[in-house]
Amino acid sequence: MRWLLHALESFKQPEPALPVQLSSVWMDFDSVDFYSEPFDCAILLGNGNFGAEVETCKLFDEWLIPICSADTLGDQPWGPERLEEAELIHPSSDRRDWRRWLNRMDLAGQVTLSNGKVFDTLDQGITAAVRGHGVSIGDLFLIADDLNEGQVFLPFNSAGGTGDAYYLVWLQDSFKRQRVLELRDHLLTCLPDISGIAVELLTAPSSVAAR
């Protein structure tokens, strides 16, 4: 998450010695147990319901869209037939991100999902796509900097909303609550900007409730 690293760098500027430890793991359903895990806060993907003992702040919605390198993009138009022939990059072992995007584009069943490279996180998928290893599925907000800098390209111009969003989550009675609130306020000033990216945003169907 380049945006998060940049945000943390600017957050630390007034206090360079402030210790920050990041941990990124793949989870079937995003959750955190602040009583047994050594975290002061977490950024989780979900519907905002993370338990009664935590506070949350929504950062941005999840918008899935295919991404690739300039060489992979080529100069021919993309459709389901060309995507079927491409090397797919799966940022999760259950391939659910591709499945959700294809369903939202009404392309379910037109692209084989059983093949391709499988990774654990969206960041790994982005890196593989940048290096020309195939077409990955990414989150529009998380790839905004890469798009604006010409690191990745979009073979399709439609992003599918999933109904999920990224939330900052922390324990209500945390003794570091004030510092977490300071981080929250700072993150809200550093969110990725997708306003200049020419894509169609297709919201999630109202029936979408589970991942």
Cβ neighbors of 81 (< 8 A, separation 6 or more) are none
Residue 13 has φ and ψ, to the nearest 5°, of -55, -45
SS3 125: helix
The structure's pTM equals 0.90
Of 94, 90, 96, 71, which is closest to residue 155 (Cα–Cα)?
71
Tell how strand 135-139 and strand 54-67 pair up. Answer: antiparallel
The average confidence (pLDDT) of the chain is 90
Give yes or no for residue 109 having a pLDDT over 70.
yes
Domains of the chain: 1-61+163-199 (3.40.190), 62-159 (3.40.190.10)
Do 118 and 90 touch, CB atoms closer than 8 A? yes
Token reading at 12: 């630390």
- Residue for token digits 């297709």? 202
Res 210: pLDDT: 41
Do 113 and 95 touch, CB atoms closer than 8 A? yes
Which has more pLDDT, 138 or 209? 138
SS3 127: helix
Give the pLDDT confidence of 20-33 residue by residue, as tens digits: 878 776 555 677 77
Res 26: pLDDT: 58
What count of other Cβ atoms lies within 10 Å of the Cβ of residue 62? 22
Give the pLDDT confidence of 56-67 residue by residue, as tens digits: 999 999 999 999
C-alpha of 84 from chain center: 23
Q: Please say whether the dihedral angle defined by the alpha carbons of residues 193, 96, 48 and 10, taken in this order, is positive or negative.
A: negative
Give the pLDDT confidence of 114-147 residue by residue, as tens digits: 989 999 888 899 999 999 999 999 999 999 999 9
Give the pLDDT confidence of 74-101 residue by residue, as tens digits: 999 999 999 999 999 999 888 999 999 9
Res 178: pLDDT: 94
Rounded to whole angstroms, the Cα distance separating 127 from 89 reads 10
- CA angle centred on 156, ends 151 and 162, rounded to 5°: 95
In which band, very low, low, confident or very high, does the pLDDT at 209 lie, cut at 50, 70 and 90? Answer: very low
